[in-house]
């Protein structure tokens, strides 16, 4: 059975991007590092999500304490927090305000009757397991299933992107690595969508606060 094509979502897609144009595809010279970017650099990819909270969860993940910092804390004797302890998991409000001022929220609606590769579907996993078998072998990956869809190996995820693009898909719907229910989208330049609106980022919004809580982060006033 061929790879499964997801239907066009009834809901809007959202993106938090840098001003002045949060919905712009990145310049081609800066493309290539993203999860589903083109490994050959011939097309660009725009990343969005089905909810604003998902966007914040993706973007604030890099504010979590590093594993090194957490490991150092675990070595401290009980009752001795150390000088670095208050900063762990705490974001200065001044930093957060600057972060918000440099960005905006863009919303789009996908045009119907386009093909989107559905990485949630078992049919897709079977197809990719077959089509990407040589690469999987080279990467010493013994099998390919839903767990491998969440792989942080860029050679693998970008190969999925390249295969989908060549197969005529306009983009990919995929699970966030933080939770499978957080649905994200990677739109190729061939995708067609309607730009709806662009609004400021609110540092006190419920969605942003929920994302911080998701990662165990808090704002220092």
pLDDT for position 69: 81
pLDDT for position 206: 98
CA–CA separation, 16 and 18 (whole Å): 7
pLDDT for position 18: 96
Largest CA distance in the chain: 61
Report yes or no: 201 and 16 within 8 Å, Cβ to Cβ. yes
**pTM for the structure as a whole:** 0.91
Contacts of residue 138, defined as CB under 8 A and 6 or more positions apart, other chains included, come to none
Q: Whats the size of the chain, residue-wise?
A: 221
pLDDT for position 28: 83
Place of tokens 């994302």: 211
The phi and psi torsions of 35 (rounded to 5 degrees) equal -55, -45
Beta strand pairing call for 171-176 and 116-118: parallel
> Going residue by residue through the chain (221 aa), what tens digit of pLDDT does each one get?
477 888 888 789 999 999 999 999 998 888 888 999 999 999 999 999 999 999 999 999 999 998 888 888 777 776 655 544 457 889 999 999 999 999 999 999 999 999 999 999 999 999 999 999 999 999 999 888 888 888 889 999 999 999 999 999 999 999 999 999 999 999 999 999 999 999 999 999 999 999 999 999 999 98
Domain-wise residue ranges, the chain? 5-64+98-220
pLDDT for position 71: 84
Beta strand pairing call for 13-18 and 5-6: unpaired
pLDDT for position 161: 96
């Amino acid at each position: 059975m061929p790879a499964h094509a997801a239907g066009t979502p009834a809901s809007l897609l959202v993106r938090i991007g840098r001003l002045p144009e949060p919905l712009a595809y990145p310049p081609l010279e800066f493309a290539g590092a993203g999860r589903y970017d083109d490994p050959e650099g011939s097309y660009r990819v725009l990343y969005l999500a089905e909810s604003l909270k998902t966007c914040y969860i993706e973007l604030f993940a890099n504010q979590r304490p590093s594993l090194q910092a957490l490991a150092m804390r675990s070595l401290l004797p009980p009752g001795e927090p150390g000088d670095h302890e208050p900063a762990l998991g705490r974001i200065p409000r001044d930093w957060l305000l600057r972060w918000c001022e440099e960005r905006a929220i863009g919303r789009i609606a996908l045009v119907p009757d386009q093909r989107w590769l559905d990485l949630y579907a078992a049919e897709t996993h079977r197809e990719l397991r077959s089509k990407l078998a040589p690469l999987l072998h080279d990467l010493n990956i013994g099998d390919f299933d839903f767990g491998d869809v969440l792989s942080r190996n860029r050679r693998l995820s970008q190969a999925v992107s390249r295969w989908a693009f060549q197969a005529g898909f306009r983009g990919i719907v995929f699970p966030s690595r933080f939770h499978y229910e957080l649905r994200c989208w990677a739109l190729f330049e061939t995708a067609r969508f309607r730009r709806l609106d662009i609004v400021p980022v609110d540092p006190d919004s419920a969605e942003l606060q929920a994302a911080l809580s998701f990662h165990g982060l808090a704002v220092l006033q």
